[in-house]
Amino acid sequence: MTELAFWKKKSLKEMSEQEWESLCDGCARCCLHKLEEHDTGKIFYTNVACHLLDLKNCRCTDYVHRHQRVTQCIRIPVDGGANLHWMPSNCAYRLLAEGRDLPDWHPLVSGDPRSVHKAGISIRYMAVPKRAGMDLESHVVSGD
C-alpha cells in the first residue's frame, strides 16, 4: 500500500515548517505587483515584479527579511483566510486551503523543481523589473 503524501493527509496547520516551505512551487506569481478594482475587489495581476525578486531563479533575494523589507509582501495564513485571495489561483497554499489537490507540474508531484517553469506557470521569461514612474495599469496581464 502506498502512503499518502503529507499534503493529502495533513491540514496546512498540521504541517511541519519543512513541509510548509516545500509546498511553495517557486512560481513567484505572488511577487508580481497587483491592482485591486475599487468597486468589485477584483484583483488584477501585472507582469511587474517586486524589486527583491530574482527574475531568473524566481526566488526572493532576501527571503528571511522579506516582510520587513517589503510591507506589501503577502503573509500566508496557516489556516486559510483573509490574505489568500491575494494569492494566484495556482498557489499551492491556496489550492490546499480551498480543498483542492496539487497539480501534476508541482515539484512535489513531478519530483522536478523545473517543472513549474516547463509548464509555463512561473513568471520566468514574462516578468519585468519595477522602474520609477511605471504605469502599473498598462502592465496588467490577467485577472485572478
The residues in 40-79 that bind ligand SF4, with binding defined as CB under 6 A, are 50, 52-53, 60, 66, 69-70, 73
**Residue 129 β-bridge partners:** 49
Q: How many residues bind ligand SF4 (CB under 6 A)?
A: 21
Q: What is the DSSP letter of 12?
A: G
Pairing verdict, β 128-129 and 43-49 = parallel
Q: Is 96 in the site for ligand SF4 (CB under 6 A)?
A: no
Q: Is 95 in the site for ligand SF4 (CB under 6 A)?
A: no
Q: Is 33 in the site for ligand SF4 (CB under 6 A)?
A: no
Q: Are 78 and 13 in contact (CB under 8 A)?
A: yes
Using CB under 6 A, which of the segments 2-10, 24-32, 38-46, 128-136 binds ligand SF4? Answer: 24-32
Q: Are 11 and 110 in contact (CB under 8 A)?
A: no
Q: Are 30 and 124 in contact (CB under 8 A)?
A: no
Q: Is 108 in the site for ligand SF4 (CB under 6 A)?
A: no
Complex with ligand SF4: residue 12 or 28, whichever CB lies closer: 28
The 10 Å Cβ neighbour count of residue 120 is 10
- Binding positions for ligand SF4, rule: CB under 6 A: 24-31, 50, 52-53, 60, 66, 69-70, 73, 87-88, 91-93
